[in-house]
Amino acid sequence: MLPVFVFALFIILVDLYAWKGLHILFNKPHNNALKVIFRTLYWLIPFLLIASVVFVMYFRPVEPGQRIVNRYYYIVAFTMVFYLPKLVFILFHLVEDIVHISEKAVRSLIKYLKKDDPPFGETNAGRRKFLSRTGIIIAIIPFLAVIYGVAIGRFDFQVINKSVEFENLPPAFDGFRIAHISDLHTGSFHGYENRVRQAVELINRQEADVIVFTGDLVNYFTTELDGFIEILSEMSAPFGMYSVLGNHDYGDYYQWESEAAKQKNMRDMLAAQEEIGFQLLMNEWDTISISGETIVIAGVENWGEPPFPRYGDLEKALEGTEKFPFIILLTHDPIHWDAEVLDETNIDLTLAGHTHGMQFGIETRFLRWSPIRHRYPRWGGLYRENNQFLYVNRGLGYVAFPGRIGMPPEITVIELQRSR
């Protein structure tokens, strides 16, 4: 009951304070009919939202299925569309209240000291309406941004090309191209299977030498892959496809009826990876050879900081790789690079995902920013320390919020080059 109560309290408080500000604009006696309609629609939204949360929390299907994921996503989208703009609006109304209270305090003080009315005149109703109207206009921006992110942004697949130079890259691999994808969260795409097929076709058109996937194939459970395995198995590359598990792939975020059910979900995940065509690297490595020269692709299970699970064993994953000149590591969480890879190993290139760029941000030629930077300093793109590189893919899918704003879904093509 506590999460539902806290959510309902937040919604009600936001609506009450926002209504106080909107009341200034819509409380006109000659618009009684419109006032009734507006008031009814206004309070219908929080009622439906809170009722939906109660329904999802207390009438969850016994068996894990896609309906669970869809219900959560609808609620998140609904909340973002209506309450992010309201939060922006009440900031303006809060400023007006602070100014108004300050004026009243000064007025009372002057009246007390001089025993006379201060020369402020009547409360500035015009200013109050101006700030409220300004708040509504500014609130339209996040409203439209959320609508765009849900309707268009989450499907706006982008190909990002990067070239990375290495002195120790074997000559035969000069120009070797890696298609890097991450965080598909397949369950998010139910009802949009053609969008996944579109992404797969775009990946194949890159004609990369190898395809790597750095985790989070699903959101909660393996059955989310129903109807998608055939589509995903259409991906192909001359030197194969490699993958690792992300924090969502273990079934840790679902309340299973028994440990046996959770273990079966994990076995199904391993089988699905193989059926798609991925060679799943679980604290192990494989080699790719061209013209007698060889590089290593190693992969670890998820390695994160609390609350994320830590199953990865880098030492085990690298055991026996000392004799090879060039190593690529697949790991889901970019924090792993700073914690165990950087300056501690001879890994040349690490590929990660996990952050999604928070599915919100600004990336231009002059500015790269996302709120996720406060949690993950290396949240997206290419990073270099000395002769070691990290690339963080911003994700192909989405989770929680069914949209992307300024942070489009990404297919990265990394070309390895030998320094000249």
333, 353, 351, 354: which is closest to 391 by C-alpha?
351
Lowest mean pLDDT among 18-22, 68-72, 333-337: 68-72
How confident is the model over 258-283, as a mean pLDDT? 97
Contact 249, 219 (CB under 8 A): no
Report how far residue 360's alpha carbon sits from residue 341's, in angstroms, rounded to the nearest whole number: 28
64 band by pLDDT with thresholds 50, 70 and 90:
low
Measure Cα distances from 215 to 66, 243, 246, 404 in Å. Answer: 20, 7, 4, 19
Q: What is the pTM of this model?
A: 0.88
User: What pLDDT score was predicted for residue 2?
Assistant: 84
At residue 113 the predicted structure's pLDDT band, cuts being 50, 70 and 90, is confident
Out of 31-35, 90-94, 212-216, pick the least confident.
31-35
Tokens 């200034």 -> residue: 24
Per-residue pLDDT, 277: 98
CB atoms within 10 A of CB 140: 12
Q: From edge to edge, which strands make up the β-sheet containing 241-243?
A: 158-166, 410-418, 177-181, 210-213, 241-243, 278-280
Structure tokens at 337: 């690079």
pLDDT beyond 70 at 10: yes
pLDDT of residue 121: 47
Gap between the Cα atoms of 37 and 26, Å rounded: 11
pLDDT value of residue 172 = 97
State the greatest distance between any 2 C-alpha atoms of the chain, in Å, as a whole number.
Answer: 98
Query: At residue 31, does pLDDT exceed 80?
Result: no
Q: Distance (Å, rounded) from C-alpha 143 to C-alpha 197? A: 29
**What domains, with CATH codes, occur in the chain?**
2-151 (no CATH), 159-418 (3.60.21.10)
User: What does the pLDDT read at residue 66?
Assistant: 67
Please provide residue 347's backbone torsions phi and psi, each rounded to the nearest 5 degrees. Answer: -75, 130
Best-predicted range by mean pLDDT among 61-65, 111-115, 163-167? Answer: 163-167
Q: What is the token pair recorded at 344? A: 């501690």
Instruction: Kindly report, residue by residue over 358-371, the tens digit of the pLDDT.
Output: 999 999 888 999 99
Q: Are 360 and 406 in contact (CB under 8 A)?
A: yes
The pLDDT-based confidence of 70 (bands split at 50, 70, 90) is confident
Q: What secondary structure letter does DSSP report for 367?
A: -
Distance of CA 122 to the CA centre of its chain: 49
Q: Say which DSSP state 339 is in.
A: I
- Tens-digit pLDDT profile for residues 114-171: 655 555 444 466 666 777 778 888 999 999 999 999 999 999 999 999 999 999 999 9
Query: Which residues make Cβ contacts (< 8 Å) with residue 68, sequence separation at least 6?
Result: 60, 61, 220
Q: CA-CA distance, 296 to 321, in Å (whole number)?
A: 7
Beta-carbon count within 10 A of 101 CB? 10
Instruction: Report the alpha-carbon distance of residue 20 to residue 22 in Å, rounded.
Output: 6
Tell me the C-alpha distance between 337 and 230, whole Å: 33
For residue 314, pLDDT beyond 70: yes
- Helix, strand, coil share (%) of the chain residues, nearest 5: 50, 15, 35
For the chain, what percent of residues have pLDDT higher than 90? Answer: 72
Whole-number Å distance between alpha carbons of 104 and 124: 11
Q: Kindly report, residue by residue over 369-394, the tens digit of the pLDDT.
A: 999 999 999 999 999 999 999 999 99
- What is the average per-residue pLDDT within 317-330? 97
Least confident of 38-52, 57-71, 115-129, 196-210: 115-129
